[in-house]
Amino acid sequence: MIVFYLILVLALVAGGVAALQLGAETGYVLLRYGPWVVETSLLGLVVAVAAFFLAIYYGLKLIGFSVSLPRRWRSALESRRADAARESFERGLLRLFEGHWKRAEVELVRRAADHHAGHLNYLAAARAAQRVGAGERRDRYLALVRERAPQLEFALLLTQAELQRERGEFALVRDTALQLRQKEPTHPYALELLAESHDELAEWASLRALLAEPGAAKAMGSARWLELSARAAEELLRAAVAAAQLDALKAVWVATPAEIQALDEPARAYAAGLARLNADAEARGFIEARLERGWDEILVRLYGPLYTEDPVAQLAVLERWLQLHGEQPALLETAGRVCLKNKLWGKARSYLEAVVQVAPTPAAYLELAKLCELTQARAEAEQHYRRGLELATGQPGL
């Protein structure tokens, strides 16, 4: 356009100069072609030629504009539709973030066909439909994404798994997560989804196998990996106990990673399982090894009732722990029970009385009452029974 105006100005200047030069002498031009004769002045010829070329120029422009008019019209309409689709998409996302699920779904779907990334409309609309409990519409939107953008299969599956997870459909989450891992085995979120689904479905063997994969702890984060690994180990140990399978219980413990064996709850579950399945000697050895490394009140309470052919040696172990860990109430109570088994009445009384002075429990009062009955102190036994009952019920003065 600038070039056109420049040419126009130059033409006007040239015309002005020519008019000045030819003002006194206009000149004469004669053109003859066959029977046709044209007579004019030089200035008239110049003006005619200029007019001719201008007519050709603007004629060609008009023809070009006429030819391109439909295309320009279509382009303008498409641009307007694209702008409207973009605005509708943005409004839909805003409504989704604001929690207006129904309005969001309407906005996202209304102009999805005109949006250059309509699959994003349908992905967001699937989330909105999920929020209002419209499972059929949610699945239809996801199917549309699959049709429009098959190259986004991974993102689609990930969204599908998240929506299934929100509705608690963990069997479906597991199946979807398995598809995700087929496409990208090391994807951390796919691993997390699969682990969570195994956890919710109580598929402990599958969960343990998944967590044992190289890189699982790094992908999930050490805290989450420890949490799920510990739970899987505990549940598998309890399942072995419920099935009364001692060999299975030991196999589960051996297959448990060292980081999990070092935790309290799995160790307690294993010790309790050994005791429950009458593997008292192994339970004693396990508990003794653990208590040498650190204090655990629950293991101490498990240790007392274990059968042994040498109760004196068992009592010696407890007395060593008393020196190692101090006069812990649970340890004093367990030592008192072992003394009762050994008929060491004096030691039993001293341990149990120390318990009720430091941290009285109904169980300690019960053991003291049994001791008094065995030593023919019935009145004192009744007193201990009453105190233990008061402590257990929280009603003094019974």
Assigned domain for 91 exists: no
Residue 336 lies in a domain: yes
Q: What percent of the chain has pLDDT over 90?
A: 25
Q: Give the domain CATH number at 368.
A: 1.25.40.10
**Quick one: pLDDT band at residue 277, thresholds 50, 70, 90?**
very high
Does residue 14 lie within any of the structural domains? no
From first CA to last CA, the distance across the chain in angstroms is 108
In a domain? residue 26: no
Q: What local confidence, expressed as pLDDT, does residue 39 receive? A: 66
Residue 362 is part of which domain span? 311-398
Q: Which of 196, 147, 150, 151 is nearest to 176 (CA)?
A: 196
∠283-286-291 over CA atoms, to 5°?
A: 120
Each residue of 133-169: pLDDT tens digit? 777 888 888 888 777 777 778 888 888 888 888 888 8
* H or E element at residue 32: strand 29-33
Number of domains in the chain: 1
Single out the residue of 179, 204, 173, 177 nearest to residue 191, CA to CA: 177
Which tokens is 17 given?
């100069």
- Please give the radius of gyration of the chain, using alpha carbons only, rounded to the nearest integer: 46
One-letter amino acid identity for 46? V
* Residue 143 within a domain: no
Does any domain span residue 287?
Answer: no
Look at residue 285 in the predicted model and tell me its pLDDT. Answer: 92
Residue 96 lies in a domain: no
- Give the other-Cβ count within 10 Å of 212's Cβ: 14
Look up tokens 């969001």; give the residue. 104
- What pTM value is reported for the model? 0.67
Tell me how far apart the alpha carbons of residues 117 and 148 are, in angstroms, rounded to a whole number: 9
Largest CA distance in the chain: 159
Per the domain annotation, does 328 fall within a domain?
yes
What's the mean pLDDT in 232-242? 94
Sole residue written with tokens 């009453």: 386
pLDDT digits (tens, 9 = 90+) for 368-398: 778 777 777 777 777 777 787 777 776 665 5
